[in-house]
Amino acid sequence: MTTVRALILTGFGINCEEEMAAAYRLAGGVATVTHFNELLDGHVRLDDFDVLNLPGGFSFGDDLGSGKVLANRVRFRRLASGEPLFDAVRGFVARGNFVLGICNGFQALVKMGLLPDVGGASTQEVTLTRNDSGRFEDRWCECSVNPRSRSPFLTGLTRLRLPVRHGEGKLVLRDEAVRRAIVERGLDCLSYCDREGRPAAAFPDNPNGSELACAGLTDRTGRVLGMMPHPEAFLSLYNDPTWPQRKRALPATSEEGAGMSIFKNIVAHVAATKPGGDP
């Protein structure tokens, strides 16, 4: 059986690392939680892993805007070997590995230029900024999966009910060319939607006012995924405050939370496709 290894970074105010580690372990993977500095110092090697994860939280207290300082650390710090960390991350993806950023991790990925990277130059093309409501939003949202998405994290999924908890989740696109490229390539992989599955432009179905009702983006390869909702916060049905109504209405409802599907998907995909994996 192929071992799927997930590296989960923490430190500097990141605070969702243990939930993310639990998700990978429940999905059959091996999760390693490590401080960001251990990666920089060479105590942990990126190439020993299959999936790099940037969890949610409040890195650097959201100073300069959520995820910006963490993004700059990735872009401009060097590993102990002298290689720029950003080059190492891009090489990690180019070799067929995966990156997942959730909430604060998503904010960092867009601000370092790794998402959506429609131009291929790894420059910032979009941002995630303050919610239209002007306040921190902590609520459950319905999301629809773009059927054109190439992301193996989302294989076979059409709808997801997930919690959001952020103050800066509004996706803003740099210009019309970026918008057009995202839509044409299906990089807007996850959208806030209403109960009928239609893209939600208005609050509260859209909790932040994101353009394209966008709740998540991938890069052109589909191997980098960023999303504002927290799948690691819905690993069990009993995380959902409406679980009693759901269980009464459909007694056969799975006791597994919808967020688990994302982690099971990527663990299964890596296990089946990495050298020596099970077909």
Q: What is the Cα–Cα distance from 161 to 239, expressed in whole angstroms?
A: 11
Instruction: Specify whether 230 is catalytic.
Output: yes
Q: What is the Cα–Cα distance from 263 to 22, expressed in whole angstroms?
A: 10
Q: Which of 17, 19, 230, 269 is catalytic?
A: 230
Of 117, 126, 66, nearest to 93 (Cα)? 117
Instruction: Specify whether 256 is catalytic.
Output: no
Q: Which of 17, 193, 232, 269 is catalytic?
A: 232
Q: What is the Cα–Cα distance from 47 to 62, expressed in whole angstroms?
A: 29
Pairing of strands 137-145, 190-193: antiparallel
If one counts every other C-beta atom within 10 angstroms of the C-beta of residue 79, the result is: 16
Of 71, 152, 56, nearest to 115 (Cα)? 71
Q: Which of 16, 103, 141, 214 is catalytic?
A: 103
Q: What is the Cα–Cα distance from 74 to 149, expressed in whole angstroms?
A: 26
Question: b/e string for 118-145 if b means 16 or more Cβ within 10 A?
Answer: beeebebbbbbbbbbeeeebeebbbbbb
Instruction: Specify whether 232 is catalytic.
Output: yes
Active-site residues, by number, are: 103, 230, 232
